[in-house]
Structure 1
Amino acid sequence: MLRILANLIQNKRIVLLGFGLEGQSSFRFFTKYFPKNRILVADRNPQIANHPLLQNKLVEMSSGEAYLGSILEDDFIVKSPGIKLPSDCRIETGSIYSQTDLFIQNFRKQIIGITGTKGKSTTSSLLFKILQDQGKEVVLLGNIGKPAFDYWDKITDHTFVVFELSAHQLEYTKFSPAYAILLNLFPEHLDYFRTENHYFDAKFNIAKFQLAKDRFYFGDLEHTNFLSSNLKSKLKPSVYELINDTIVKQHSATPLLQLNELLYLKGLHQLKNCLPLLSLSRDLNLDEEQVLNSIKTFVPLPHRIEFAGKIKQTSFYNDSISTIPEASIEALKALQNVRYLILGGLDRTLDYQKLYSFLLSFPLKKVFFIGPAGKRMFAEMNLTYSFEKILLDSLHDFEAQLPYLIQDREPEICLLSPAAASYDEFRNFEARGDYFKSLIHKLL
């Protein structure tokens, strides 16, 4: 399976653009399989020179503000996701490759790619469990934190590859997986992508390069009319549909899966994301009853409407993954009796009007606003709301509010569902969620 790649890099210097988790994975891969090729590691951070992987290696390095200046026209560039090229960059985007692109090119027939603004990690993990429960040979990789190149030598002809794909990973890809799932689309990552359409275009790459015989499954999307005109494969509408809180087969009133049958997943949005998985499972000839049982018993990932603990009558939930208003709205719908809500974080100029309108009729007692995004929300919510608005500098200041929330009273819920990114205060949403949970665990 290395022949295609060997032809691409023949007599070329390999440039690893970015040396984070995926860049380091690429370095290990190329030094293992192509030890004769020269390698240039290009990263803005000058500390890469001290990385253990690069010690005692004959490797070139370029860092600092001019780290792109050492890249030549005939170099083979492997870009890490999230590395934003400047607008005046002289590198031709058509010459940029990525782990995602190269991996899909080699294993596309075995790959089930999953993307969407929200829900892709949970849905990918659920599909991994479904296939495992059916006795299939399967790996889960990609945006979930597992670089594709780390699994290259683990793929056999019988392996199913569940590939979680972010917009950053899909941005420069020129190949699409044989099975593609697009769950939903909302404006996101506009601090990286130039426009909303640029972000959507990156997401659409999951199906743009499919062949006529490939399968594309989609959720409840208003954007598929635009996409369908650019597809070689056919859109694969679900043979299942969601009616109220129940999944049924089309033209059948017999309940197949109801929301209250999900033991651990919370929210109608989770049930909706099961629709393309059921259609895919049908096309793969999986046992439907066993698929349904896998869904019912699936334990979701942390930081996704995660129960963090109960103190007296107040239950605390960590939904730090919610970095857009639509996700926070779904979290509020999913939980009963939310009375205290924590909003805010890094301000990426998202439009919060839908959230403001939703909160007008939601019976909250207090909303805590944190960080720059919270400060803007606090100022913009100038209508009359039934709840008290409390402005805090950061999530760290929330600890002082806890004594009020755990007084003896009727059962209530406090929810962290920020509708904003975490980078103003934390390195990622996981660190933010872990900190929130640590505050609760101190009092348990």
Structure 2
Amino acid sequence: MIPVLGLTGAKVGVLGLGRSGLSAARALREGGAVPIVWDDNASARERAEAEGFEARDLRKAMDELTRLVVSPGIPHLYPTPNPVIAAALRAGVPVDNDIGLFFQSLGQGWDAFDVTPKVITVTGSNGKSTTSALIHHLLESAGRDSQLAGNIGRGVLDIDELINGSVVVLELSSYQTELARSLTPDVAVFTNLSPDHLDRHGGHGGYFAAKRRLFAEGGPDRAIIGVDEDEGLFLANQLAEGPGDDRVIRVSSGSKLTGPGWQVFARKGFLSEWRKGRQVASIDLREVTGLPGAHNHQNACAAYAACRAVGLAPRQIEQGLHSFAGLPHRSQVVGEKDGVRFVNDSKATNVDAALKALQAFPKIRWVCGGLMKEGGLEALEPGCANVVKAYVIGCEAEGFALQLPGVEAEICTSMERAVAEAAKDAQPGEVVLLAPAAASFDQYDNFEKRGDDFVAQVEKLL
């Protein structure tokens, strides 16, 4: 656990008692603060009370609070602030989250280390979980002490106490970067940007602004920026003092990057690192089975750059890439039968992520559908050339199928039927791919449950 420092004796409200909320309450108490907690769910309050925390309606405690710590799923501005947060805003009580507490506390403890630890943060729309897990894997495979936390793995305040030279890798969502009052990573990664969570951020500009805080307010020593979209180009331009400023490492998948600065890019399956106008390393990604497709090659470039920024050699990174198995629900190869591969990419919950999955394989029996997001499905058209047929699931299956651009579609509704029909139709050399391009909440609690169902149906066939 990382005790929260700087709030000894202060009463701190904790709103939301899921993983990050309870973790924050424990870390606050460990650091000498006095947490007062609340969750609208009575069973969550009972669990907290069983650990000795005082549960009380925080709207009635604002005059006592020094700070309000909020879990990431609770809206603080758009579409409307949660009533407790609205009360805090009116009372002038600072609103924060566990990420802010982590950086606040970490910054007060550096004197204890001979070799100061490093913090690498990863944000973006797609690929941040894979990139974060890959950085963690590469560090561990090279013998560096590393912990993975944040939006993946453990809550950030639940990690073990740091040791000399260790590295903390944090995946951060826009919900987390938008609210944290302290953001001071050593290395910050921006993978890419595509429309997502727009209601929560008041539109595309607000969504980008939430991501940008990690770089503009965090001031990382090194910023690794995916420049395949305009927002990434803009962000890299804002952070660099000139073309040769190697505090910014530009990353691309598909485009050769030139200039006197520091670049890492992938083209035709090869990763290249260039610095000061010269190539310094190259890695063949085509045989890295845990990272299929151009979108995963972008993840590999970002992870490579982050590890180079903390001192790993290209050969160490290359060895680690080949032992990376990938993450569940993200281009996860479930199995193969009669020359047909089954791939679970349930995490492809938006159009951009699904498009990248479609572009990773040449002949696809596509299991898709779910709770559609804003913007429609037209942007999928470039990847639909690889689709032999779509098998549509979800409560909106008919409406979803009508929006698919130029694709033969069968309405299946259930995962069981979709997998069975796709497997029956599939020919050797084809891929049965779950890449929903939609949220899961019409039929499943989350994308993991949806992916688990796909895997279960495939395992029946295998």
Distance of 2:180 and 2:309 partners within structure 1:
26
Q: Report the equivalent of 1:65.
A: none
After superposition, where does 1:278-293 map in structure 2 within 5 Å?
A: 278-293=304-319
* Residues 62 and 87, structure 2, Cα contact 8 Å, conserved in 1: no
SS of residue matched to 2:431: strand
Q: Report the equivalent of 1:80.
A: 71
CA RMSD of aligned residues (A): 2.8
State the shift of 1:49 in Å: 3.3
Equivalent position to 1:91, from 85, 88, 91: 88
SS of residue matched to 1:345: coil
Equivalent position to 2:300, from 269, 274, 289: 274
TM-score scaled by length of structure 2: 0.83
Distance of 1:309 and 1:348 partners within structure 2:
30
Matched, 1:20 2:21: no
Change (3 A) 1:38 1:281: closer
Change (3 A) 1:73 1:318: same
Change (3 A) 1:408 1:130: closer
Equivalent position to 1:219, from 216, 226, 242: 226
SS of residue matched to 1:242: strand
SS of residue matched to 1:210: coil
Matched, 1:164 2:190: no
Change (3 A) 1:295 1:95: same
* Residues 249 and 264, structure 2, Cα contact 8 Å, conserved in 1: no
Matched, 1:422 2:440: yes
Q: Report the equivalent of 2:256.
A: none
Q: Which runs of 5+ in 2 are unaligned?
A: 108-116, 242-246, 251-261
* Residues 371 and 395, structure 2, Cα contact 8 Å, conserved in 1: yes
Change (3 A) 1:90 1:231: farther
Distance of 1:98 and 1:380 partners within structure 2:
39
Comparing 258-267 with 96-105, greater Cα deviation is found at 258-267
Q: Report the equivalent of 2:328.
A: 302
Change (3 A) 1:188 1:373: farther
After superposition, where does 1:229-244 map in structure 2 within 5 Å?
A: 231=239, 235-237=248-250, 238-244=262-268
Q: Report the equivalent of 2:412.
A: 392
Q: Report the equivalent of 2:451.
A: 433
Q: Report the equivalent of 1:197.
A: 205
SS of residue matched to 2:87: coil
Distance of 1:293 and 1:404 partners within structure 2:
36
Distance of 1:328 and 1:83 partners within structure 2:
27
Change (3 A) 1:73 1:371: farther
* Residues 191 and 348, structure 1, Cα contact 8 Å, conserved in 2: no
Distance of 2:233 and 2:429 partners within structure 1:
45
State the shift of 1:374 in Å: 4.1
Identical aligned residues as a percent: 27
Matched, 1:138 2:146: yes
Change (3 A) 1:50 1:255: closer
Distance of 1:408 and 1:392 partners within structure 2:
16
State the shift of 1:232 in Å: 8.8
Comparing 223-232 with 120-129, greater Cα deviation is found at 223-232
* Residues 351 and 379, structure 2, Cα contact 8 Å, conserved in 1: yes
SS of residue matched to 1:57: coil
Look up the equivalent residue of 2:35 and give its one-letter code: I
Change (3 A) 1:229 1:55: same
State the shift of 1:74 in Å: 4.9
Residue by residue over 1:80-126, the C-alpha shift from the partner in whole angstroms, topping out at 9 and shown as x without a partner, is 11111334723228711111111123336721111111111111111
TM-score scaled by length of structure 1: 0.86
Q: Which runs of 5+ in 1 are unaligned?
A: 63-67
State the shift of 1:433 in Å: 0.5
State the shift of 1:44 in Å: 2.0
State the shift of 1:27 in Å: 2.4
Residue by residue over 1:282-323, the C-alpha shift from the partner in whole angstroms, topping out at 9 and shown as x without a partner, is 333322211111113211011111122234443321110111
Equivalent position to 1:262, from 288, 292, 297: 288
State the shift of 1:10 in Å: 4.3
Equivalent position to 1:61, from 43, 56, 61: 56
Distance of 2:408 and 2:31 partners within structure 1:
60
Equivalent position to 2:380, from 340, 343, 355: 355
Change (3 A) 1:31 1:295: same
Distance of 1:228 and 1:315 partners within structure 2:
39
SS of residue matched to 1:354: helix
Comparing 189-198 with 159-168, greater Cα deviation is found at 189-198
* Residues 422 and 432, structure 2, Cα contact 8 Å, conserved in 1: no
Comparing 19-28 with 105-114, greater Cα deviation is found at 105-114
Equivalent position to 2:155, from 147, 164, 170: 147
Change (3 A) 1:77 1:10: same
SS of residue matched to 1:102: helix
Equivalent position to 2:402, from 375, 379, 395: 379
Q: Report the equivalent of 1:102.
A: 101
Change (3 A) 1:26 1:283: closer
Change (3 A) 1:408 1:113: closer
* Residues 309 and 317, structure 1, Cα contact 8 Å, conserved in 2: yes
Q: Report the equivalent of 2:361.
A: 335
Distance of 1:323 and 1:41 partners within structure 2:
32
Distance of 1:10 and 1:249 partners within structure 2:
47
Q: What is the number of equivalent residue pairs in this alignment?
A: 424
* Residues 17 and 45, structure 2, Cα contact 8 Å, conserved in 1: no
* Residues 345 and 420, structure 1, Cα contact 8 Å, conserved in 2: yes
Change (3 A) 1:346 1:27: same
Matched, 1:249 2:240: no
Distance of 1:125 and 1:330 partners within structure 2:
19
Change (3 A) 1:408 1:223: closer
Distance of 2:391 and 2:361 partners within structure 1:
18
Distance of 1:256 and 1:56 partners within structure 2:
52
Residue by residue over 1:241-285, the C-alpha shift from the partner in whole angstroms, topping out at 9 and shown as x without a partner, is 333322223355797112313132111122222223333333333
* Residues 312 and 408, structure 1, Cα contact 8 Å, conserved in 2: no
SS of residue matched to 2:283: strand
